[in-house]
Amino acid sequence: MVRKRVAILISGRGSNMVALIEAAKDERYPAEIVLVVSSEPDAEGLKRAAGANIRTAIVEHRVFGHDREAFERALQHELVQLRVELVCLAGFMRLLTPWFVRQWEGRLLNIHPALLPEFKGLNTHARALADGVKQHGATVHFVVPEMDSGPIVAQAAVPVHEGDTEATLAARVLEAEHRIYPWALKQVAEGRVRIEGEHCLIDGQPVHKA
């Protein structure tokens, strides 16, 4: 089996990154993590990646000021150098331009802490609590130019309990994230996922959404 060469893009803690790294330690996993790139030089995830002997790079967005394309060209350079085939955003807190997204069309995944299309954007847990929803969760999707949109590969729902705080709900969702991201990457790396318009088919079947 030829494993797909995967880069993970982070900006912070990197717990989803760790979940992907752990899954890829198994030789039978169809992807290997060849690079972790952080937009933040102090990201905790960088230490965790280095600790797992994964090559790391820093592409600091601030250095490029408002020139988002220059930032992305630097990012692209890192990915091309390492012959990356798939890219996973894992708590990567920069919006990507259509130029970058187009380079990676169908090969760029993101994890979002909500049941998309509900609660796009930031502060998803606080907004879910404020809205009084009974179910919340996480979504892995292909990235398209429009933020937090794009064909869904996997979704997991978690219950919202009475008395939940942002922190307790976030922790419950995070557990689900760590489960579905390695699963979703596996499906994509094995070539089981076909994008049809705005939806994904896995082994020819519609994705079960929460």
Q: What is the DSSP code string of 28-58?
A: TSSEEEEEEEESSTT-HHHHHHHHTT--EEE
User: To the nearest whole angstrom, how small is the minimum distance from the Cβ of residue 115 to ligand GAR?
Assistant: 12
196 burial (CB, 10 Å; 0-12 / 13-18 / 19+) is exposed
User: To the nearest whole angstrom, how small is the minimum distance from the Cβ of residue 196 to ligand GAR?
Assistant: 25
Task: Mark whether 112 is an active-site residue.
Answer: yes
Catalytic residue among 61, 66, 112, 161: 112
| Smaller CB separation from ligand GAR, 91 or 151 | 91
| Smaller CB separation from ligand GAR, 179 or 201 | 179
Q: Looking at residue 172, what DSSP letter applies?
A: H
162 burial (CB, 10 Å; 0-12 / 13-18 / 19+) is exposed
Angle between helices 166-189 and 124-131 (to 10 degrees): 120
Give the residue at shortest CB distance from ligand GAR: 91
| Smaller CB separation from ligand GAR, 9 or 79 | 9
| Residues at the contact surface with ligand GAR, assessed by CB under 6 A | 10, 12-16, 45, 90-91, 111-113, 174, 177
Distance in angstroms (rounded) separating the CA atoms of residues 113 and 11: 15
User: To the nearest whole angstrom, how small is the minimum distance from the Cβ of residue 11 to ligand GAR?
Assistant: 7
| Smaller CB separation from ligand GAR, 149 or 201 | 149
User: To the nearest whole angstrom, how small is the minimum distance from the Cβ of residue 203 to ligand GAR?
Assistant: 26
Beta-sheet strands, E only, within the chain: 4-10, 31-38, 56-58, 86-89, 108-112, 135-142, 152-159, 193-196, 199-202, 205-206
Q: Known catalytic residues?
A: 112
